[in-house]
Structure 1
Amino acid sequence: MPPAVETPRGAQTPPAAPDPLTVVPTRHYARWVAAAAAIVVVAQFLHGLATNPVWEWDVFRAYVLSETILQAVWVTLQLTFYATALGFVLGTVLAFMRLSRNPVLQTVAWTYIWIFRSIPVIVQLVFWFNLSALYERLGVGIPFGPVFWSVDSDSLIGTIGAAVIGLTLHQAAYAAEIVRGGVIAVDQGQLEAAAALGIPRLRQIRRIVLPQAMRAILPTAGNEVIGLLKGTSLVYVMAIGELFYQVQVVYGRNGRVIPLLLVATAWYVVLTSLLSIGQYYVERHFARGTDRTPPPTPVERARRLARTLRTRAAQRDRPFTVPEPSGGVR
């Protein structure tokens, strides 16, 4: 046994070391139960999709890429593009009219927004579809005076034109409020500084206001465009061969309602996903001024993962050599 060490008189005995603490991780039982329930529900749904014969996946495969459906998808995209472009152009004009100091412009813009947000879009579509019953001919001339040139309403507008007009005017009312909200979100001190520097008003709007307002406009505008894409299905009342109308025509002939509705659903999901991806990259573009180190995009993450996997594979395939001792053998 080692000899006992005597503690000098007056010296303090060092404190004993504390017992090690047992760290117990927090257990979230409710989260695990909720996750397990969600997995069971999703698994049941997927099992039903795969085994329920009512879905008729063979009919779905036969029509999802058929020429009739692809033409209907193209019509849906055309309606969405024209109504979005024209609606946001008109909406931007209405937004700045509401922000104007001219009471006449403010009143006209407010009245337009009030009316077109109050009337359901399907009512507007039916109205423009029957415009020829109200105005048989449209012309150009002196206000309250003679008409120099006129044309038949049906030949000038047509069915597609009536649908685009109805969707555009409806979309412009909502786009005006979206743009106005984005402009109001910009700090007014920047406009005062730009005015003090003598920058023209239009250049202030184009180079200072709109680039910053886009960060507030884009999320809501993206939702509106996606809603418009799905809202084009309402033009079925005008017998336009868009996606939903064409699906109705097909299942009206063969009676395969469920698989044909699934075809329309699949295409709407695909188109909405593409619009969401485009919205993500546009928002990322306009966020450059505030976020100098944005998170990597999914493509960049995939490339980074591929490089990591290639590097690890190369290191695994490299032969391992034992380094020689530098000091020699003793």
Structure 2
Amino acid sequence: MMDSAKYEVVIIGGGPIGLACGIEAQKAGLSYVILEKGCLVNSLYNYPANMTFFSTSERLEIGDVPFVSNNAKPTRSEALEYYRRVAIHRKLNVKLFEEVLEVVKADEVYQIKTKKHNYEGKHVVIASGFYDIPHMLGVKGEHLPKVTHYYKDPHFYAFQKVLVVGANNSAVDAALETWRKGAEVTMVIRGEGVGERVKYWAKPDIENRIKEGSIKAYFNSEIAEITEDTVVIKTPEGLVSVENDWVISMTGYQPNLGFLKKVGINLSADEIMKPQYDETSMETNLPNVYLAGVICGGMNTHSLFIENSRVHAERIITKICRGTSF
């Protein structure tokens, strides 16, 4: 086995909160490394190309670096540019495209193995987000090439028959944007209407498009089956088959809780599966292993965002510098 690179803090996840943890470690004079399985702020990169954040730019700032955007609410491209500039300005030690395979305790340190290298850390921070694993529909045909759980750019769907599954922001954005590029759009929504969390400027837009018939919507419905050229929808009136070229399934995502369990972090026994950690220090049931960001909420992925979890970085590094036990 190759020798391990040794650090006081190993941070798993190169999203905004992982970067914030790196900044705090750097400010405290601790040696650290940030391990990211994809590109820098990989989750944000996978957001829709034309997405606008609900938050204002100053609430997305980290490391005391100002985030200036053209409008009060920044776009995805502006956020990517901002976090790149933060990484450059702070000279952050980030290792990209290094997925962590395992974390094992060895005496007083942890051995962290990636696909490329081995690392050794006295403290481990897991800030891996929740955008990795899509909620599956669990229907026949879901694995056909025409089905995607990640929506990027609307032009690809121009003049095609597109079915969008979901009722929240991602689904609404996909439906409106593809429709405006000339797609024939159908929505399948499990509830009685679009979600209450839909951005205030998009909610009346989608509701008006549905009301006027520009976008067809099946409420209280779900997909029964997907075929090469159709989608069968289970509606209150019975099964309906619609012609279809592409399915965009925006049913949400979940954190990799299996990884936490594999590491040895306790999860609650209920459906939320919230990890065990101390709210004041973010330390888990494993000594010197911490959680930061949205992963702290378990399956409740709508409780934590960049703006209300930036403070996790400060709590963790304060605890590490203080050197007390869990």
Q: Which has the higher helix share?
A: 1
Greater Rg over alpha carbons, structure = 1
Q: Which has the higher strand share?
A: 2
**Which gives a bigger RCO, structure 1 or 2 (Cα 8 Å, sep 6+)?**
1
TM-score by length of 1: 0.20
